[in-house]
Amino acid sequence: MTPPAAEIAEAISFDQNLTCQTAIREIRAQILTLPSIRAHRLSNTEFTSREFVLVRVLLANGIEGIGEAAVLGGPRWAEESVESIQAAVERYLAPALIGCPAARPAEVAARMAKAAFRNNSAKGAVETAVLDAFTRTLDVPLATMFGGAQVDKLPVLWALASGDADQEVEEARAKLAAREHRDFKIKLGFASPVDDLRRLQKLRDEVPEMRRLIVDVNQAWSEADCRRYLPALQELKVDLIEQPLPGDDFEGMARVARQTQIPLMVDEAAFSNREISRAGAMGCGSVYSLKLVKSGGLLALSHAARIAEAAGFELYGGCLLEGSIGAAAHLAVFGTLPQLAWGCEHFGPRLHVSEIVREPLVFEEFHVHVPQGPGLGVELDEDQVRDALRPD
């Protein structure tokens, strides 16, 4: 059995040469923009292109690692924007980490925690880049840091979020025909519940081949809305409901969970381990959405999975529409988990018109493949990166 990350790091720390080689020399943060194949709607925003921050970490040995910091159309899902992420990385996190060995990931996390409060997306991208550079130095996959991958691919769903029922029917049919996705998540909350139910009914009627149907309300309903409309969701054979109530309404989520036979998924309600434990103890749901942007680092994400399981949750691999870099980072952790009952939703790379990596992630037979190369297993296409850079 491969030893856990803490033991690996402790053993490596005795190798003074490796410690010197992996000292962090430089950290950069660049804002990139990639156009989307279609509009993507949430309860509080809509966008047709995605902005994110590419973080680069250069070690003393000349090896560079990369990470991705994601947001959803600005500081709407959480408090961070691409501008605040870039500033946090360059002004606070980078100065705290220069000279720190990537071979000591616990020290990296501790230094970032001291340099900045929360800023989870910024920290997650920096730690990803550090671990990518470190595992490239060792010539091993990033999953090695978390005990090694147990699977080489994971079930992956597709999100339907245009709000146009006819378009969504055709999109779902195309994904099924290509054998890329058979589980679907439908974004609700940007229309009235009645209109949302009409969309769902059309999808159920016209795309009966869907295996799982998950709805994400993005905190847009009230407890009264849940009482009115959850019975209709049950009639439509919805398999899972994601965060119907505002994230801070633990009591309401617990009451709703007791009233329905459909499992509820806790997402925005729980970022920290304390919040995960509290949500589990209160019975706010039975599924937990794992996200790097909530945990603030891959080491913490792996830990959050264990905390959620101990709190009684089944696990779901969530995303913030990350591209191939962010998706590969998540998959490095998800592939090591003993159970990921609901698969993952790292379809984000397929929402982009173009890519910034040389070889995109592989989607086939309703699964996404876990990259196998050293580090993250993805390589930048520098020409595409230059084209995607946002002008200063």
Hey, which residues are catalytic here? 187
Please state, in angstroms and rounded to a whole number, the distance separating the CA atoms of residues 111 and 95. Answer: 10
Please state, in angstroms and rounded to a whole number, the distance separating the CA atoms of residues 292 and 318. Answer: 9
Q: Which residue in 332, 372, 330, 335 sits closest to 347, CA to CA?
A: 330
110: its two tokens: 């501790």
Strand 183-187 and strand 314-317: pairing?
unpaired
Please state, in angstroms and rounded to a whole number, the distance separating the CA atoms of residues 318 and 288. Answer: 9
Amino acid identity of residue 373, one-letter, is: G
Please state, in angstroms and rounded to a whole number, the distance separating the CA atoms of residues 175 and 377. Answer: 25
Amino acid identity of residue 47, one-letter, is: F
SS3 302: helix
Amino acid identity of residue 22, one-letter, is: T
Classify the C-alpha dihedral 99-105-107-109 as positive or negative.
Answer: positive
Maximum separation of any 2 CA atoms in the chain, in Å: 64
Contact call for residues 163 and 188 (beta carbons, < 8 A): no
How many CB atoms lie under 10 A from the CB of residue 46? 13
